[in-house]
Amino acid sequence: MLTVSEVSKTYAGKKLFIDVSTAFAPGNRYGLSGPNGAGKSTFMKILDGGLDPDRGSVSRPKKTAFLKQDHTLYDEYTAIDTVMMGNPALWQALQAQKVIYESGDHSDEAGMKLAELEGVIAEENGYMAESEAEELLQGLGLDQGRMHLPMRELSGGFKLRVLLAQALFGQPDCLLLDEPTNHLDLDSIEWLEAFLLGYQGVLIVISHDRRFLNDVCTHIADIDYETIITYPGNYDDMVRTKAAMRERQLQLNAAREKKISDLKDFIAKFSAGTRATQVQARKKLIEKLQPSDIKRSNIARPYIRFDVGRESGKHVVDLEGLAQDYGGGDVFAAFRAHVNRGERIGLLGKDGAGKTTLLRMLVGDLKATSGRIEHGHEVQIGYLPQEHEATIEPGKTIDSWLHDFKPQADLEEVRGLLGRMLFRGDEGQKPTATLSGGERVRMLFCRLMLLKFNTLVLDEPTNHLDLEGCSSLAEGLAEFKGTLFVATHDRNLLSEACTRIWYIKDGQILDFAGKYEEFAQRYGH
């Protein structure tokens, strides 16, 4: 059991939660929800002991594991050793055992110490530790060759997978995971889901992947109204429950207001007459019937809709014999495809398969090793790169940066777009250099909506969006009348928005004409 007692936290002058008391029980899998800025990661740090609350306390199981974010701590260790360090008692015993063996010490004292260490190793299932670590890494997409490399030689994405395996290692009693699906491909996400469904301890997870929360969670702990309310069921169940509770309160308030109106009519009619006692009774009843305040929920959904300015020709792009390599073999080879106006293509494949490479080639940022790409008549491409920090000019405010792309735009149009993307009031005056990851992505979506491109090329567009932002994006892309190319691991977006799949694997691209669910059923994704 993990218990939270009267915890309060204020961050940057904002009250995140006040006097929160709750408990998380073994066998339950909790999703921690709330929009960007609600305090999810702050609360998770309080749970794992990395941050002290302003007041209150947390009691956690002794074997509590959490997903670390600083992978530079393990640069000198191999991937498999980093995973095994997820069980500190076992790792320390193995290291102490190694020191004694290498020292050649055969004294009685060394023998007694070895016996003690072997007891710890046996208790922690240490003789199966390396095979368990390998199984976790394999499930998360690391091959045998990478498992024994120093962490400093792995890419950032693979380092984060190793840290996720570290958190899962050693059968912890409590598991705290902040965005565990980041940098995972679909195969690894599905493996992680299966692992967590079999986990028997306390699980608390933050994720912007709606389907992941729906598939994994038995409860949702929602940060709202400066407290945390736990709802049974998955994320969609929680949203429906909150909406129903709010609707019931609105109906109750409407009934009370109607009753108050009737009572006031009675008071006005008989206040000067002989029914003074009844009038006074009704005045007291009015005081009791005052409608309850309905707090404004902090769940806020942006309104993402992409209009098309000028329609493209029927033929949007032709790819003929397209190939790309970086000197170490083909990323993909001899790909041919024809894309018509209105098609919506989802790009799938493991990290490093070539999804970003193909998108960069489509927008002209990268030249093909061989073959050609030919765009059709009036094709106007809006591009959202995965690494977008360099695309945002510093020294500007949000509204001035956006207005520069379309100087003829009415200022009200710009402010309207910013409001739709949750930049309200004076928030349009924020300097671009101070924006969070989520704010930067929402600002880039404002640009795409302002310029009304007829073709969108999006590389992992749900990165940094919260759950409501991801859902709004999926709906907006499903309604988009232009042509779409999107690389994403978000299965909800793929299901709602895409009508065709390009699957990159082992240097080949499979072109599947159909929706994601049909592709997944046929090819096991």
128-155 pLDDT, tens digit each: 999 999 999 999 988 888 999 999 998 8
CA distance 342 to 345: 10
Convert the pLDDT of each residue in 358-414 to its tens digit. 999 999 988 888 889 999 999 999 999 988 777 888 888 998 999 999 998 888 888
pLDDT computed for residue 346 by the predictor: 97
Q: Tell me which of 235 and 437 has the higher pLDDT.
A: 235
Residue 260 pLDDT exceeds 80: no
Check whether 209 has a pLDDT greater than 60: yes
What value does the mean pLDDT of the chain take? Answer: 88
pLDDT of 111 reads: 82
- Residue pair 223/43 in contact (Cβ under 8 Å)? The answer is yes
Beta bridge partner(s), residue 1: none
Q: Which of 191-200, 235-244, 337-346, 393-402 has the lowest average pLDDT? A: 235-244
- Residue 109 carries which side chain, given as an amino acid letter? E
- Cα angle at 288 between 282 and 290, to 5 degrees? 105
Q: How far apart are CA 167 and CA 175, in angstroms?
A: 7
Q: Which pLDDT belongs to residue 70?
A: 80
Has residue 202 got a pLDDT over 90? yes
Instruction: Place 250 in a pLDDT band, splitting at 50, 70 and 90.
Output: low
Inform me whether the pLDDT recorded for 293 exceeds 60.
no
Q: Is residue 414 a contact partner of residue 448, using CB atoms and an 8 Å limit?
A: no
Q: What pLDDT is stored for residue 295 in this prediction?
A: 59
* Residue 178 β-bridge partners: 206
Q: Which of 21, 68, 63, 19 is nearest to 41 (CA)?
A: 68
* Top-confidence residue, 79 or 291: 79
**What pLDDT does residue 52 have?**
93
* Residue bearing the bigger pLDDT, 315 or 71: 315
**471 neighbors 316 (Cβ within 8 angstroms):** no
pLDDT at 448 > cutoff 90: yes
Q: No. of H helices and E strands in the chain? A: 18, 18
As beta bridge partners, residue 227 has 224
Q: What is the pLDDT of residue 273?
A: 65
319 secondary structure, DSSP code: E
The tokens describing 62, both together, are 């002794």
Say whether 323 sits in a helix, a strand or coil.
strand
The larger pLDDT score, comparing residue 430 to residue 453, is at 453
| Sign of the CA dihedral running 165, 170, 171, 173 | negative
256 pLDDT band (50/70/90 cuts)? confident
Q: What is the 3-state secondary structure (H, E, C) of 92-157?
A: HHHHHHHHHHHHCCCCHHHHHHHHHHHHHHHHCCHHHHHHHHHHHHHHCCCCHHHHCCEHHHCCHH
The Cα 175–Cα 60 span in angstroms is 10
Average pLDDT over residues 413-435: 87
Confidence of residue 438 (pLDDT cuts 50, 70, 90): confident
